[in-house]
Structure 1
């Protein structure tokens, strides 16, 4: 990945190998409680929202076609957006890499003689390592999203793209606020903690020199930037400071306002199960004569950072992603290990598909393999990204490049040898079933040689007395008789 991220301070969440991080996550019962509290509710709310929208399937198809059209005509919409944004008074910058994007932002801050920088939640900012770059530049960075505020106080990393503090329980957050807030809450009541965060953040909102936001959509026909939030912190971040900087991936482009709203309806229902967010704001250039608020300078940093490489390398469908988080909310793996175990900025199925682009397949080959390929992620994706196919593709490339350990390749070679010989395969599976049943107690296996990675954290179901084919043959003989 870019130097901006490679040079960032290491954290416990990102340390060790993938298997070590997974082991630590599975051994943490509090993490499972924290994940379940949020993702279960998210799944239920999304299901209800989709059920109440008879036109969801048609809207999903339209969203997919809008994103594919933009990807196919990216050069055209980049030129149109830049032209219209510049006409509104915005300054548009291009960054090919994460380090270039951070350098551009820091240069803008220094030229503006800024000291305090407020930042609303942006996964693109996390991707390029912007929080670390701001800190290294000596700027006073204040995260204004409530969950990002929690993560900053904990010297932590986001673990979910919608709920960055998913891994923290309410009780732990209350303790964190009592330690760091000037007027801390007197309980772990959610309302009291939110009020405490408001008191703590309000002076920073009012005193910031520079506000940095991301963008949910970039409107080519007008040069406007759309942000979508539920807290209102983005509006306080972007309208009060004298300089507003937007950092956005080039895939955020849409042709016009109607296309943005078509995608917005999909995004919100998939992310939070709501019809619309509390705040949907369109920013179009700096403050004009007669305006009562707004920035004096408006900068937009358009970032590639591997996106055009995704097109070249055959995973351009990943550029459809609306960053709703539905794939990870429904992922059986994410719901067991959480986001930090993935190691990269983007967790879950989308992270498993994207991280090999950023970090290289050699460093991240475990991520595509940590998937059951049950297809649930594609089922719930609002723009029908074929995530299982992408993950299979990374697995195939990893195998072709010889990245798997030799022991795994040898084992699969033996399995293939047996699978190509049906009689041998049936004989072997029959023996395996009999052997496995010896370890069963009460219908479950709690300890199994060579399978401690499974049985250390959960029991394995005791297999049936006969294999599928043995049972099939028995049923066939019964019918014949």
Structure 2
């Protein structure tokens, strides 16, 4: 199913679509205020982009350095070529400790690998402890945003979910009371857990340590109570030195939620006495993207979600319309690399306005890559026949001044003479159902200019 067809369900609820759009734009405005307060923000963006470019150019070296330093610190390092291997490694670690209860902080990589269903299918209880992630886990939904996984839901939806699963009062949608109910529910899970799984925001090759950024402290609580900590890390999370980290922490929170810094920025370098720290380093298509010169810069992404908050298409179509772990503009670049045929419609879910590129904290040329993916898809024959032939026709039509002039004249005449009900009919012109065109001029610019020259 294409993005437009999946988006139709979300768009059908006009009130929710408007609310979703306004909420994310509010987050975008918070980002702007936070950015303007840092005079050197653009210099930080450029520095971060260069650090990532350098790291991607020597990724093999830094991965080996990270592994060596991590092992020196007493960390168990595992390598996973794909999602299946990642899931099997984690299941094996849990089984070797005869554990059955797991708490997990937010990790888009584990979502990408579909870790939860894999563990649940083998009798392991896995509880997402990020509030938004827990809400959608109870609802058996996927996250719709990188940073705000339940942004598609209103407080009334959360209240109904908690009433069904946590036994809160029916009709109670007070945010403070619902948060307290979640806190009490999750506290018991934290205390009972034997294994904690986390993602990795940054991994430092120089120290062999991993860094996790959260606002709720759930990762810290889970990791420090459990005997075993498993950190899932994509190969692109590396930065060379600890001194580089400050560049990214100044960019991440400001770009994501408009905060100066995340509430908790936690470093894990070595396990405490009597405990274990495992790092699972995952490829899952990343080296393939690295080998695509036009698209390798997408691996610079630090998962802030800023491109989603500003994208006019994402804000109005919802994250689930992308049918990929990472939605929005950056997801539309990453997804065809994983499955070109399945996600062939996503690079077209964009106006190419460039707003995503403007706000990206590591200066990924997102809109340019979306345009380039369209060329790849066209060459691979992965665009609908109707679109292919219509674009071919329009290319020839627009290349002919005579045909273009005649078409414009017919359109202007038709808009003046034909009834509004016909020119704006749903079946003939769905674009105009919620839009109105200006009054058509009697002559085109070309016609006016030709007459002006003669006079």
TM range, smaller chain = over 0.9
Q: Tell me, in whole angstroms, the C-alpha distance in 2 between the residues paired with 1:186 and 1:420.
A: 60
On the 8 A contact 1:185/1:193 being kept in 2, the answer is no
- SS of the residue corresponding to residue 416 of structure 1 reads helix
- SS of the residue corresponding to residue 383 of structure 1 reads coil
Partner of 2:201: 216
Matched, 1:412 2:412: no
Give the C-alpha shift of residue 137 in structure 1.
1.5
Q: Tell me, in whole angstroms, the C-alpha distance in 2 between the residues paired with 1:287 and 1:376.
A: 45
Per-residue Cα deviation, 1:449-470 (whole angstroms, up to 9, x for no partner) = 5433x34xx5232244238x81
Q: Tell me, in whole angstroms, the C-alpha distance in 2 between the residues paired with 1:347 and 1:133.
A: 22
Matched, 1:300 2:299: no
Per-residue Cα deviation, 1:153-195 (whole angstroms, up to 9, x for no partner) = 1111110010000111011101211221155698322211111
Provide closer, same or farther for how the CA distance between residues 36 and 416 of structure 1 changes in structure 2, counting only shifts above 3 A: closer
From 362, 366, 376, give the equivalent of 2:355: 376
Per-residue Cα deviation, 1:273-316 (whole angstroms, up to 9, x for no partner) = 0101110000112113xxxxxx7111000000111100112211
Partner of 1:32: 17
- SS of the residue corresponding to residue 333 of structure 1 reads helix
Q: Tell me, in whole angstroms, the C-alpha distance in 2 between the residues paired with 1:39 and 1:378.
A: 17
Moved more, 105-114 or 32-41: 32-41
Provide closer, same or farther for how the CA distance between residues 30 and 216 of structure 1 changes in structure 2, counting only shifts above 3 A: same
Partner of 2:441: 466
Q: Tell me, in whole angstroms, the C-alpha distance in 1 between the residues paired with 2:415 and 2:145.
A: 38
Q: Tell me, in whole angstroms, the C-alpha distance in 1 between the residues paired with 2:157 and 2:122.
A: 31
Provide closer, same or farther for how the CA distance between residues 123 and 445 of structure 1 changes in structure 2, counting only shifts above 3 A: farther
Matched, 1:363 2:342: yes
Gaps of 5+ in 1: 1-15, 289-294
Partner of 1:9: none
Gaps of 5+ in 2: none
Give the C-alpha shift of residue 369 in structure 1.
1.1
- SS of the residue corresponding to residue 364 of structure 1 reads coil
Alignment of 1:78-93 (within 5 A): 78-93=63-78
Q: Give the TM-score, by structure 2 length.
A: 0.95
On the 8 A contact 1:350/1:387 being kept in 2, the answer is yes
Alignment of 1:76-475 (within 5 A): 76-182=61-167, 187-288=172-273, 296-314=275-293, 315-359=295-339, 361-438=340-417, 446-447=424-425, 449-452=427-430, 454-455=431-432, 458-466=433-441, 470-471=444-445, 473-474=447-448
Per-residue Cα deviation, 1:339-359 (whole angstroms, up to 9, x for no partner) = 000111111101111111112
Give the C-alpha shift of residue 437 in structure 1.
4.5
How many pairs align?
A: 454
Per-residue Cα deviation, 1:321-341 (whole angstroms, up to 9, x for no partner) = 010000011001001110000
On the 8 A contact 1:327/1:380 being kept in 2, the answer is yes
Q: Tell me, in whole angstroms, the C-alpha distance in 1 between the residues paired with 2:158 and 2:250.
A: 32
Give the C-alpha shift of residue 473 in structure 1.
4.5
Per-residue Cα deviation, 1:342-396 (whole angstroms, up to 9, x for no partner) = 111111101111111112x222111111111011100000011011111111111
Moved more, 411-420 or 231-240: 411-420
Provide closer, same or farther for how the CA distance between residues 242 and 450 of structure 1 changes in structure 2, counting only shifts above 3 A: same
Per-residue Cα deviation, 1:124-173 (whole angstroms, up to 9, x for no partner) = 11111111111111111111000001001111111001000011101110
- SS of the residue corresponding to residue 228 of structure 1 reads strand
Q: Tell me, in whole angstroms, the C-alpha distance in 2 between the residues paired with 1:68 and 1:437.
A: 55
- SS of the residue corresponding to residue 229 of structure 2 reads strand
Give the C-alpha shift of residue 412 in structure 1.
2.0
- SS of the residue corresponding to residue 342 of structure 2 reads helix
Q: Give the TM-score, by structure 1 length.
A: 0.90
Give the C-alpha shift of residue 400 in structure 1.
1.3
On the 8 A contact 2:101/2:126 being kept in 1, the answer is yes
Q: Tell me, in whole angstroms, the C-alpha distance in 1 between the residues paired with 2:183 and 2:76.
A: 32
Moved more, 257-266 or 377-386: 257-266
Q: Tell me, in whole angstroms, the C-alpha distance in 2 between the residues paired with 1:301 and 1:433.
A: 62
Q: Tell me, in whole angstroms, the C-alpha distance in 1 between the residues paired with 2:450 and 2:219.
A: 66
Provide closer, same or farther for how the CA distance between residues 330 and 426 of structure 1 changes in structure 2, counting only shifts above 3 A: same
Give the C-alpha shift of residue 432 in structure 1.
2.0
On the 8 A contact 1:30/1:169 being kept in 2, the answer is no
Give the C-alpha shift of residue 472 in structure 1.
5.4
Provide closer, same or farther for how the CA distance between residues 438 and 304 of structure 1 changes in structure 2, counting only shifts above 3 A: farther
Q: Tell me, in whole angstroms, the C-alpha distance in 2 between the residues paired with 1:399 and 1:61.
A: 33
